């Protein structure tokens, strides 16, 4: 064809799979985190419908709802190992298709579950069972998506390409809060409690079908084709020291992310007595700041390194978490000041989320990359994300200290800052 050259043809062939890889990895993460966001943002409603029989207190029911939320996270490491081993042995594409199908199906079923009023004590058990299945699929999703994004990345762009995983997390959270807020605004409180809460979960079905369509056309990554099917791939082992260090490096990202981006609405409602619409608006502002910072942070990490950017985010959360929460509690502070603080808190978490995926991917070789990075991330999230709502809600209820969320996020980020100062021997350049 006139006007084409071998060089331009080669660039076109190189660009096509990377664009498809970004889209395929991104949409799967969006579905996953959309569901987790919806559960977190509607936790107070779910607590009333599934965990509060007659006479049960709202705080007690919320603790039970967050216990089911936390349980799913403890199945993430198992999902990371199960799907990671399959993905490292048989390829990225088929396993990514399986995990997004599993997540889509279970999320849709949550929207169709009978409540406590209909099914009695069976209702919370059914919800918890579906949360466990979601935990397994989510544990496999992260490692596979990050492996695809970073293994298709052009030289010198792993940070930016890996950041797309975190960016779609932000999009999923924003979509979740947007759908939850729209549902709560358009429906009356009675309609929301009766049937409206189901709509956000049922929306996962069309989102999941789009994800399956995109992933069905995904090609295998060059790194896996070159290294993953080699005979020696089956002999590679993961060292516990490297796994624990990698998990420690992202604990701050996990804890601060869930504290300021997901748990915040329920905290504002139960502890500060905000209504559901104010709480969801606050979450939207925090998630907007988070989304805005992710891709620039990933790009910056391609220029100055992953650890300096992550370290900056961890240190900033450590020193600003308490002042931000105190500002939210200050009845004399203006709405503009509180909104700016929420956007800033989200942006600081974005500093860690941007380079985080690439840093984890570069910690493990191709032959165990999906398993290694997925397991490290799942371990951090099982302890510091899945338990965030449960620990914060119960600690505030027992102590009466409204600064508990800030202490939680700051302590986790201090751990990450210390871990980031050490470079593991197996880190991939």
* 353-376 pLDDT tens trace: 999 999 999 999 888 899 999 999
Alpha helices in 75-121 (DSSP H): 76-90, 92-110, 116-119
Pull the structure tokens for residue 40: 């977190």
Rounded Cα gap, residues 264 and 274, in angstroms: 11
Q: Dump pLDDT digits (tens) for 17-44.
A: 567 778 877 788 888 888 877 887 788 8
| Residues 77-100, mean pLDDT to the nearest whole number | 91
Give tens-digit pLDDT for 277-291: 777 788 888 889 999
User: Across the chain, what does the average pLDDT equal?
Assistant: 84
pLDDT value at residue 249: 94
Answer for the pair 147, 92: CB distance below 8 angstroms, yes or no. yes
Task: Look up residue 418 and give its two tokens.
Answer: 């210390």
What integer pLDDT is reported at residue 261 of this predicted model? Answer: 83
- Provide φ and ψ at 340, rounded to 5°: -65, -40
Q: What is the pTM of this model?
A: 0.80
pLDDT for position 305: 92
pLDDT at 160: 93
Q: In the block, which residue shows the tokens 């790009």? A: 299
Mean pLDDT across 42-49: 83
Percent of the chain beyond pLDDT 70? 89
pLDDT band at 323 (very low <50, low <70, confident <90, very high): very high
Assigned architecture for domain 21-420: Up-down Bundle (1.20)
């Amino acid at each position: 064809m006139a006007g084409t050259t071998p060089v331009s043809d080669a660039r076109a062939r190189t660009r096509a799979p990377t664009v498809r890889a970004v889209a395929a990895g991104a949409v799967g993460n969006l579905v996953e985190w959309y569901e987790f966001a919806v559960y977190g943002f509607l936790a107070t409603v779910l607590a009333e419908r599934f965990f509060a029989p007659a006479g049960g207190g709202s705080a007690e029911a919320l603790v039970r709802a967050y216990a089911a939320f936390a349980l799913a996270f403890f199945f993430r490491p198992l999902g990371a190992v199960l799907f990671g081993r399959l993905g490292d042995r048989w390829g990225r594409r088929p396993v990514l298709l399986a995990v997004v199908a599993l997540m889509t199906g279970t999320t849709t079923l949550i929207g169709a579950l009978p409540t406590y009023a209909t099914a009695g004590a069976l209702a919370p058990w059914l919800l918890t069972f579906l949360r466990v299945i979601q935990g397994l699929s989510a544990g496999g999703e992260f490692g596979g998506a990050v492996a695809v994004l970073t293994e298709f990345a052009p030289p010198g762009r792993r940070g930016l390409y890996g950041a797309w995983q975190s960016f779609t997390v932000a999009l999923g959270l924003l979509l979740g809060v947007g759908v939850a807020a729209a549902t709560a605004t358009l429906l009356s409180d009675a309609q929301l409690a009766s049937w409206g809460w189901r709509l956000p979960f049922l929306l996962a079905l069309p989102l999941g079908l789009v994800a399956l369509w995109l992933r069905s056309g995904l090609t295998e990554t060059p790194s896996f084709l070159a290294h993953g099917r080699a005979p020696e791939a089956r002999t590679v082992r993961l060292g516990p020291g490297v796994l624990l260090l990698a998990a420690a490096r992202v604990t701050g990202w996990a804890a601060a992310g869930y504290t300021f981006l997901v748990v915040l609405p329920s905290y504002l409602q139960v502890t500060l007595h905000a209504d559901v619409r104010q709480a969801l608006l606050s979450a939207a502002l925090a998630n907007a700041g988070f989304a805005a910072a992710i891709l620039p942070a990933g790009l910056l990490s391609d220029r100055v390194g992953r650890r300096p950017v992550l370290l900056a985010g961890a240190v900033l959360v450590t020193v600003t978490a308490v002042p931000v929460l105190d500002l939210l509690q200050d009845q004399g502070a203006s709405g503009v000041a509180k909104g700016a603080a929420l956007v800033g808190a989200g942006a600081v978490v974005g500093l860690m989320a941007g380079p985080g995926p690439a840093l984890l991917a570069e910690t493990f070789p191709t032959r165990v990359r999906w398993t290694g990075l997925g397991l490290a991330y799942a371990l951090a999230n099982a302890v510091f994300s899945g338990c965030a709502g449960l620990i914060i809600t119960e600690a505030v209820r027992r102590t009466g200290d409204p600064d508990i969320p800030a202490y939680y996020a700051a302590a986790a980020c201090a751990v990450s800052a210390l871990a980031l100062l050490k470079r593991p021997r197996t880190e991939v350049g």
